[in-house]
Amino acid sequence: MSTFTIKQGFDLRLSGSAEQTVVDAPLPAQVAIATADFPGIKPKCLVVEGQRVQTGQPLFLDKNDREVQWASPCTGTVTKVVYGERRFLLQVVIAPEAKDEFFAGPRVDLARVDRAGLVAALKQSGLWPLLRQRPIGRMVRGAAEPVAIFVNGMDSEPLAADPAVAVQGRAADLQAGVDALRKLTSGTVFVTVRGGAAAQDLRGLKGVQVAEFSGPHPSGLVGTHIHRLRPLKQGETAWYLKAQELALIGQWLRTGQYPWQRVVAVAGECAPQKKYFRVRQGAAVSAFHGGKPIEGDVRVINGTVLNGAVSDGFLGFYAATVTMIPEGTGKRDLFGWALPQFGKLSFSRSVMSWLMPRKEYSMDARLNGGHRPIVNLGTWDELTPLGILPSFLVRAIQANDVEEAVKLGLLEVTEEDVALCTWADPCKIDVGSIVRKGLDMVEKEG
């Protein structure tokens, strides 16, 4: 087993962490699946409003690859099909019934199926979108064999769900998932865990290489793991997924039924109940607090404060964490930077909290300043343990110099790898959106 200690980075110690107690959420009034979670697809809707669907029944497909389908997470009635400009499908909303009736999807015998057959079955099952790829950092396109597959069994983002809690007691599902991944690649299947954590269900998997990572964020990101374990050469791709997503694939292989349940951590100082919930995929966020809407000046995030998106009222496809923090609308700090601000979390020493550090800090969604031109203060370099020069990379992207950006390490990063840079940057530069612009240019030219 390999062990790595990451020194560059920073931990956002925010208040409101979820208790490691898993409880069942009530049946949500509605569930939804949104195409915004899968950038780059061309969806074709397969259902209409008023139609009754079964759990696992296809709702829409990708016209770029018609074998790739998205399945219904419940049995119920389609109440709304939302279209945008040019009839582009945005969202399918379903009112679930209490009892599941499972759609007769593909069945797979791992002992007999070949790689092509497994790929086809995964695409038809609705679980193919769980597999994402590097470079680019989006859902796997095509079916070219990856050089390695990474299963992330840790998360160092602030208030993030612990994957080891989400898969506790699911050793059989995890092993079945690993057996499937080994069919998908002749390379190594890596499983990463937090250094010192028990995570026995992950450490005991057969046919994988387990690696421990410790240190501040971004020690728990797959980009950091790839950089240390199997750096990609030009033209190579690696696939990745979370430990819970691996268990979902394994459950489907073992039972033949679409796995609709997710374990989600609800955290943040504004969360009514800070716990782990077993909940239906795509559930309305109100299911986490008795079906009532969140009131007050609160921002609800699908994901974490670093790498999440403002919730549209439903749980995102990839979200394992829901974070609720104060919005901070209309709030101003008296005298602003002129005060020592001992209770304010900061990476720099511009405030005095470093003299008396706290165990946890409160943080709202305010920007705390306006946008300024990029000033290379070296802050980004201290937060990026990938051996790249983020300031020069950003400048190359802004100049539309794709070739230079690739040389500077564009293909090694996605938004999540530079999210800390955005948070700590005194110039208020959204580094993640710039990196995504660069990756889109590479994908378009590629």
Report the CATH number that the domain containing residue 52 is assigned in CATH.
2.40.50.100
Separation CA 158–CA 16 (nearest Å): 10
Residues 114 and 215 in one domain: yes
Quote the pLDDT of residue 280. 97
CB 210 within 8 A of CB 195: no
CB 70 within 8 A of CB 60: yes
With bands split at pLDDT 50, 70 and 90, how would you rate the model's confidence at 1?
A: confident
Separation CA 414–CA 88 (nearest Å): 26
| pLDDT, tens digit (0-9, with 9 covering 90-100), for 18-50 | 999 999 999 999 999 999 999 999 999 999 999
Residues 180 and 220 in one domain: yes
Residues 203 and 124 in one domain: yes
Q: What percent of the chain has pLDDT over 70?
A: 98
With bands split at pLDDT 50, 70 and 90, how would you rate the model's confidence at 149?
A: very high
Quote the pLDDT of residue 111. 92
The count of structural domains within the chain is 3
Q: Look at residue 296 and tell me if it is in a domain.
A: no
Separation CA 134–CA 151 (nearest Å): 13
With bands split at pLDDT 50, 70 and 90, how would you rate the model's confidence at 354?
A: low
Strand partners, 83: 89
The residue from 198, 222, 255 where one domain ends is: 255
Taking residues 422-446, report their average pLDDT.
92
Residues 78 and 113 in one domain: no
Give the relative orientation of helices 115-125 and 171-184 as an angle to the nearest 10 degrees: 120
Instruction: Look over the chain and give the mean of its residue pLDDT values, rounded to a whole number.
Output: 93
With bands split at pLDDT 50, 70 and 90, how would you rate the model's confidence at 343?
A: confident
pLDDT at 333 > cutoff 80 = no
Quote the pLDDT of residue 413. 97
Q: Look at residue 193 and tell me if it is in a domain.
A: yes
Q: What does the chain come to in residues? A: 446
| Sheet arrangement for strand 43-45 | 43-45, 58-62, 65-71
Least-confidence region, from 65-69, 236-240, 315-319, 361-365? 361-365
Residues 55 and 139 in one domain: no
Dihedral pair phi/psi, residue 190, rounded to 5°: -95, 140
pLDDT at 373 > cutoff 90 = no
With bands split at pLDDT 50, 70 and 90, how would you rate the model's confidence at 346?
A: confident
* Residue 180, C-beta contacts closer than 8 angstroms, at least 6 positions apart: 110, 118, 122, 249, 250, 253
Quote the pLDDT of residue 214. 97
Amino acid at 277: F
Q: What percent of the chain has pLDDT over 90?
A: 82
Separation CA 50–CA 31 (nearest Å): 15
Quote the pLDDT of residue 295. 79
Taking residues 223-231, report their average pLDDT.
97
Separation CA 266–CA 154 (nearest Å): 17
pTM reported for the whole predicted model? 0.95
Sign of CA dihedral 147, 153, 159, 161: positive
Query: Distance between terminal CA atoms of the chain?
Result: 36
Separation CA 91–CA 76 (nearest Å): 16
Separation CA 199–CA 168 (nearest Å): 8
Tokens (6 digits) for 80:
């709304």
Residues 46 and 193 in one domain: no
Residues 91 and 151 in one domain: no
Residues 79 and 113 in one domain: no
Separation CA 161–CA 330 (nearest Å): 30
Residues 167 and 18 in one domain: yes
Quote the pLDDT of residue 84. 97
Domain membership of residue 148 as a residue range = 2-22+107-255
| pLDDT, tens digit (0-9, with 9 covering 90-100), for 245-302 | 999 999 999 999 999 999 999 999 999 999 999 999 999 999 998 777 777 899 999 9
* Residue 361, C-beta contacts closer than 8 angstroms, at least 6 positions apart: 12, 13, 14, 15, 343, 344, 345, 353
Least-confidence region, from 57-61, 67-71, 348-352? 348-352
Residues 84 and 120 in one domain: no
With bands split at pLDDT 50, 70 and 90, how would you rate the model's confidence at 426?
A: confident
Place of tokens 């590629």: 446
Taking residues 402-408, report their average pLDDT.
96
Residues 152 and 220 in one domain: yes
